[in-house]
Structure 1
Amino acid sequence: MGGRQLEAGTCAPFGRTPDGREARVWTIGAEGGLMARVSDLGACLTSLLVPRDGSYLDVVLGYDDAAGYATDDAHLGAVIGRVANRIGGATLELGGRVYHLAANEGANSNHSGPDLWRHRLWRLVSAGPASVTLELDSPDGDQGFPGAVRARVTYEVVRGALRISYLAEADATTAINLTNHSYFNLNGQGSGSVLAHRVQVLADRYTEVDAGNVPTGRLLDVAGTPLDLREPHRLDEAAALFAREHGGFDHNFETRGFRPAEGRVGEVRRVASAWGDRSGLRMDVLCDLPGLQLYTANYLDGERGKGGVALRPHDAVCFETQFFPDAPNHPAFAQDVFGPGHPFVSCTEYRFDGA
């Protein structure tokens, strides 16, 4: 970001969507500390700025304006809902009734179908120097899901961390699994591959998947596999993964220490960490959910990001906190089923040393 000055608590135009809607972007943070920029288009995190050596290092991939996000296929920085990740066969059984969802990845639903929440404009609820809250209504039957849902997300800069808090209330029993799909490069966005980053995931097991990346229902041990990240490893040490179909990590881990908590999904604890190989920057990931999808941006394909930089495979790594994919179709998994009197309340933090 060079010597650019940022002012927390400001709002600016962010361009227009293809259908003429005006988008905005808010800057939040603390003077001399961590700063973030958030748009009402998709409730996207467009920049995350870590102070380094008198300047700022932007550690998330994104676009310069709304036009980029409106055509984005990679979900850069977006809030994903109503259900993140895959639902096998695009079918969902709740209370003995089968619901047929919009399929958008072969026969499966991925990130809830083709009418993605990241293409929708969210309403502003409140904004201040250190936080912004946005809200979206998802009607009954939205892409086949039962019940009307009001989703609210708050981005807040607190104690060197970006905290993302979610609240989703439904008027009928339904599946809700919200996440943020930010792409992190701790050397700075636009700086190339992250495969030399070291990553740690505090997980002893992962969900086995079929050819469509949908869980089979089995949990397998990470021991003796390239997915064993219980101690920090460079991403490229899992070389065998990068020669396979998905071209890298795209796996859901069962994070250690998940315990349901009164009034929210679970208790917040550290589930992963990452270290930039050139910047030396450390980021810890904390959440209250049972799963974490580690994804090494395998399908970026030359999209032009901020500053016109071409985004290539493995230019970032995602830490998508979540319930397990396809959870309602696997009763042994922790269930992402919510309804009246039982809202989805969750929190994820991305915490930086010294920020």
Structure 2
Amino acid sequence: MKHAIALLALGLVGMSLEAQVTKAAFGTTKDGKAVDIYTLKDASLEVKIITYGARIQSVLAPDSHGKVGNVVLGAANLDGYVNDGGTYFGAVVGRYGNRIAKGQFTIDGKTFHVPINNNGQSLHGGTDGFSARVWTAKVIPEGVEMTLVSPDGDQGYPGELTAHVRYTLKGHALQIAYSATTTKATVLNLTNHSYFNLGGEGNGTIVNHKVQIDADRYTPVDSVLIPTGDLPPVAGTPFDFRTPHTIGERVDTKNDQLKLGGGYDHNWVLNGKSGVLRTAAVVSEPTSGRTLTVSTTEPGVQFYTGNSMKDGVNTGTGGAKYVRRGGFCLETQHFPDSPNHPAFPSTLLKPGQTFHSMTVFTFGVTK
């Protein structure tokens, strides 16, 4: 995928090229757990991450004129995340990101049941997923590593799972490296649920953003947003982003799939070899000139256009009230409901194996 961008570090002369990491208190949960916020800063970006849900709170990136602004939706305090209205702002979701049909799956002939929390389905790990846990953090070179131990039987999932998420800054890019091990065979689909607005968080909708996704196929869904199992081509449909299109161009066109999702809320089957880091999507915003390139080792990406956001419900880090479609998500992932679709790439993780995944968000500006 070709996209001409210039990566600029403007007005930052003299700053260390390597990321510096600082820590501060961010609040306490109702059950008395301390939540911290880590700031990663280098010559190009400043990223804040909280231990509640291992969430990205903000990403400060320059626009084409060198003006720095936050391009990630979030909350200014812990309460804004605890009571986020099911938006999952900036969170690591799991054990299973996205949906599992009827909250059940089978491993080695045994059926497991996980909490149902979305139209009769299980979404993002259930009623008490990883997004609502306080992760353990430690500073690593150029970043921070978040760790969570999920006990055997947690939310119905088998095996004690130890998950690590490493956030590091490398120039103009925020790298997210996932790894996990388990004591019993289980299913796993970790992803980050950040919402982006390259015009600046709280600055209106994202319908003017231009999106390109390197995918020839996608996974259509049924009435409860569970994949049908088909992998039709995007050609000739509003899901064809192989060349750039603005979000607003087709998001509200008359299309059965768009009607089911209330807009774009689907998984794209990425081109290229799964397990190899390659470009999945490129997004640009015309007013600011900012760009976002998403690279991943995952086989799919969920493109979501904030269709369920409600005007004025959430207040952003800068104090502005968010609006419907105030942000978009590009959740790199395995496909939704993969445990119930043998033809989809497997999400099974067994003892003795280590799950690895990498996603990179690279920020730049148009020439």
**Does 2:66 match 1:51?**
no
**In structure 1, distance between residues paired with 2:170 and 2:304:** 26
Show the 5 A alignment for 1:196-275.
196-238=208-250, 239-240=252-253, 244-259=259-274, 266-275=275-284
Secondary structure at the aligned position of 2:318 is classed as helix
Number of matched pairs: 345
User: What root-mean-square deviation, in Å, do the aligned CA atoms of Structure 1 and Structure 2 show?
Assistant: 2.0
Q: Which residue of 2 aligns with 1:282?
A: 291
Distance apart, 1:246 and its partner CA: 2.8
Residue 61 of structure 1 is aligned with which of 63, 73, 87?
73
Assess if the C-alpha contact under 8 Å between 2:292 and 2:362 holds in 1: yes
For the Cα contact (< 8 Å) 2:225–2:260, is it kept in 1? no
Decide which moves more: 185-194 or 335-344: 335-344
- Give, in whole Å, the separation in 2 of the partners of 1:206 and 1:354: 29
Aligned partner of 1:131 in structure 2 is 143
Q: Distance in 2 between matches of 1:277 and 1:13?
A: 37
Match of residue 39 from structure 1: 50
| Partner AA of 1:42 in structure 2 | G
Q: Do residues 102 (structure 1) and 102 (structure 2) align?
A: no
Report if aligned partners of 2:164, 2:178 keep a CA contact under 8 Å in 1.
yes
- What are the Cα deviations for residues 1-40 of structure 1, in whole angstroms up to 9, with x where unaligned? xx9x99931111112223333211011121x311111011
Contact 1:139–1:147 under 8 Å retained in 2:
yes
Q: What CA distance in whole angstroms lies between the structure 1 residues aligned with 2:83 and 2:93?
A: 16
Structure 1 stretches of 4+ moved >3 Å: 5-8, 52-55
Q: How far off is 1:274 after superposition?
A: 0.2
Task: In structure 1, list runs of 5 or more residues that go unmatched.
Answer: 260-265
Q: Deviations over 1:254-280 (max 9, x none)?
A: 000033xxxxxx010001010012111
**d(CA) in 2 for partners of 1:241, 1:155:** 40
1:163-202 correspondence to structure 2 within 5 Å: 163-202=175-214
Gaps of 5+ in 2: 1-10
| Structure 1, 47-56 or 63-72: larger mean CA deviation | 47-56
Amino acid at match of 1:234: T
> Hey, what's the Cα distance between the residues in 1 that align with 2:260 and 2:277?
34
Cα distance in 2 for partners of 1:255, 1:36 equals: 27
Deviation, 1:353, is 2.2
* Residue 298 (1) aligns with residue 307 (2): yes
In 2, are the aligned partners of 1:18 and 1:70 still within 8 Å (CA)?
no
Q: Deviations over 1:74-93 (max 9, x none)?
A: 00000011010000011111
Q: Report the alpha carbon displacement of residue 285 of structure 1 after superposing the two structures with TM.
A: 0.4
Structure-2-length-normalised TM-score? 0.90
Tell me which amino acid in the other structure corresponds to 1:197: H
TM, length-normalised to structure 1? 0.93
Percent identity between the two aligned chains: 40
CA distance in 1, matches of 2:346, 2:234: 23
Q: Is the 8 A contact 1:47 1:60 kept in 2?
A: yes
Contact kept? 1:297, 1:316, Cα under 8 Å: yes
Return the match for 2:326 from 303, 315, 322: 315
Letter in structure 1 aligned against 2:175: R
